[in-house]
Structure 1
Amino acid sequence: MSVIAPPPRSGITADELIRPCGGANEPTKNLTTFGVGDQSEFILRPGHGSGNIIFNYFLDTTVSNDTKSYPLANVPIPQPGTYTTKIDFASAGLKSGQQIVVQAIYNGTDSGKTEEYYVCFDVKLADKAPSSASGEDHSSANNGDHSSANNGDHSSASNGGHSSETSAASSFAMQVVSLKAALGAAAAGLLVAAAAF
């Protein structure tokens, strides 16, 4: 399962089979701030099969298989694609100032085999989400494939993109670009050093 936004605790796809957080049970620097009463977007891309994505949250920031989880949403996944799930943390009884861990579990069946994939997100709740530093619209990340809202009936509807409130996606994309640039510069330096010998 690929994660588009917000940035997960771990981006190692091979570890997603490890409960409860895809091998990343400790808090990370990837802390995303969401407005407690906003429709906070989680954009995931299951790459195969069909099934559902279950969203839970933990009140403890270090989690194990014994940590109590609380339900947020259950989203049907009829086919591979990009799915945007909007979660209203206030409707789950959460408040501004809390730091939680959101868990996404993809129960996917492909070729008659069912597997569970785990991804976790470090989330801080505030009165309002910070505005995007760049002010860009990140609608291209969604591709308009699928969208669902946590409105109690788990129905789906297309929204054609998502707003700039997902500043976490912008920040994550900038981190990836910066990392690629740093790696490119380091590789170029090694090539120059090797040529000097």
Structure 2
Amino acid sequence: MTTTDATRQLVFRMVGTWWRIDLSSPAAIADSTKQIATGVLGRADDRATGRARLRDELGKAATAAADADAQLLMIQTELGPGQPMSATLTVFEDERMRMSPAIGTDAASVLAVFEKSIPLMDPSRAETMVRRRCMDGEVVRVHEIEETVEIEDGERYTQRRLVAQYWYPLPGTKRLLTVVLTTPLGNIPHTLLSYFDAIVAASAFQEA
């Protein structure tokens, strides 16, 4: 879960194994990523290189999230026992996402005005814009497949990463909370979007 203000929290009900990275300081990030690497790969000496690589990857992601003032960063490693899964959930409150005072605090109005701004803010993703459900009402979603060329063991391959952004209207305010769900499994985007939508559908704001 993540605190959105003094009285409300956005709570997620997760399936599988998720790890929370403490973003409060560089030392906290280092400690969290070390725990995750050990939890995922164990302590065996022959996995030391793998642990170091995983710590490095997670550390870079966590530092970027902390620099962007993220409220929450969680990493999924399994759907269930023996079922590997790679996904990341990050939560932000973007200070730019404050609607005009004229529209009031009704969630439907806040989302309607926000939707009109997406083609100006992010034209490349605007055509993917849809409404999706959470337990409190509706959110706005856009997504993109990011492609990068990677080299492993001397071989070049294309990595496709799915990035889905969801905007939640904060109850009783003109503000929006951004939830970003990503996965390197971008070759099956429709399946993963359905999975991400299910995570969002089970989320809700609760009293702190």
TM-score (norm 1): 0.28
The structure that is helix-richer by fraction is 2
The structure that is strand-richer by fraction is 2
